[in-house]
Amino acid sequence: SGRPPSLPPWAAGKRFGIAGGVLPPPIAAQERRPSARKTRAWFSRMRFLPYNEWNIELRERVLMEQTGQRAEGEALETTAQVNEAMIEALKGRAAFYDLLAAIYFRPLTAEQIENIANLDMSEYADMNELFAEGANDISRYLRRRHSGTRQELAVDFTSAFAGTQSWKGRYAVPYESVHTSEEGLMFQDAYHEVFQLYKQNHVAKAEGYDFPHDHLSFMCEFMVVLSDRIAAAIEAGDDAGALEQVNVSAAFLHDHILSWFDTFQELALLLLETRFYRGVLKISKGFFLEDAELLKSIAVELEQRLEDEE
């Protein structure tokens, strides 16, 4: 019909649990929206750093174990140590998804711009080349910020992401349906698929937020919810439950973010004027690619544990 269905009854309080309810109840819809954490100082350098370091270390460890390259007598990390590292990495990815959710949701405030300017993104230059390029673009742009920077960025955001301008009739709005449907319209197949996935995982939009469910900001917030659930399951010793949530995250990232982000990015680059938002697109794609590897690494670790238990 082209109109979104009303929020189902489970949105306001139905519990979501794995293996006897070891996971906490679902985050209330009102607690999971891009603006809910606006008082937070975004993500801190020390919070995100373990994400990158642990991902590299784990991939190296998995490779050594698979190829038999571990030195004789070298002790494996204890499960508790690995769990702690994984949880720190999951906190880091959740914080960064929160950041992206806020950036793509609405034009930035002066305070948010200042917070981003104070981040030392050089710490993450080794994540991948694309992320490093984007971080450099953002940093260089913000070094020259002035009294008109907020307005300049607001105009750029509105022109591209809010759809006030188009390129040959195509709009760079961050909705999956627009970039995956033949007609380039909202509320198409991708929207309905994402809505059902949220429903299956007991997540809903807060009332009063009229953007469709397949908006990139809501997708990033969904990844935050899943990351929190993975960490909670690991902490509770529920490796099977954690693996299930990892698989949901990996599939969602592949099927509903990476599947259309390139098309969205290519179009947005034709409309954006500032180096800042061009850099945002680069760090987004670089982060998504790195996150896919992180999820793969965590899955390998959890699968190995479950095999050892059999």
Beta-ladder partners of 175: 215
| pLDDT confidence of residue 109 | 93
- Lowest mean pLDDT: which of 71-85, 190-204, 207-221, 250-264? 71-85
Closest CA to 161 of 238, 106, 213: 106
Beta-ladder partners of 215: 175
Q: CA–CA separation, 73 vs 157, rounded Å?
A: 56
Q: How far is CA 92 from CA 35, 55, 85, 88, 121, in A?
A: 19, 11, 11, 6, 14
For residue 189, give both structure tokens: 């197949």
Name the residue with higher pLDDT: 209 or 70: 209
pLDDT tens sequence across 14-51: 222 222 222 222 333 333 333 333 323 333 322 333 44
Give me the DSSP letters along the chain: --SPPPPPGGGGT----STTT-SPPPPPGGGSSTTTTTTS----HHHHHHHHHHHHHHHHHHHHHHHT-SPTTPPPPPHHHHHHHHHHHHHHHHHHHHHHHHHHHSPPPHHHHHHHHT--GGGGTTS-HHHHHHHHHHHHHHHT--TTHHHHHHHHHHHHTT-SS-BTTB---SBHHHHHSTT--SSSHHHHHHHHHHHHTT--PPTT--S-TTBHHHHHHHHHHHHHHHHHHHHTT-HHHHHHHHHHHHHHHHHHTHHHHHHHHHHHHHH---HHHHHHHHHHHHHHHHHHHHHHHHHHHHHHHHHHH-
Q: CA–CA separation, 157 vs 174, rounded Å?
A: 11
pLDDT tens sequence across 218-238: 999 999 999 999 999 999 999
Q: CA–CA separation, 71 vs 75, rounded Å?
A: 9
| pLDDT confidence of residue 4 | 33
Q: If pLDDT is split at 50, 70 and 90, which confidence band does 201 have?
A: very high
Name the residue with higher pLDDT: 6 or 265: 265
Per-residue pLDDT, averaged over 234-262, amounts to 97
Q: Is 173 exposed, middle or buried (0-12, 13-18, 19+ CB in 10 A)?
A: buried
pLDDT tens sequence across 87-129: 999 998 998 899 899 999 999 999 999 999 988 777 666 789 9
pLDDT tens sequence across 140-192: 999 999 999 999 999 999 999 999 999 998 999 999 999 999 888 888 899 99
pLDDT tens sequence across 65-81: 555 555 444 445 688 88
Question: With a threshold of 0.75, does the pTM exceed it?
Answer: yes
Q: CA–CA separation, 18 vs 230, rounded Å?
A: 11
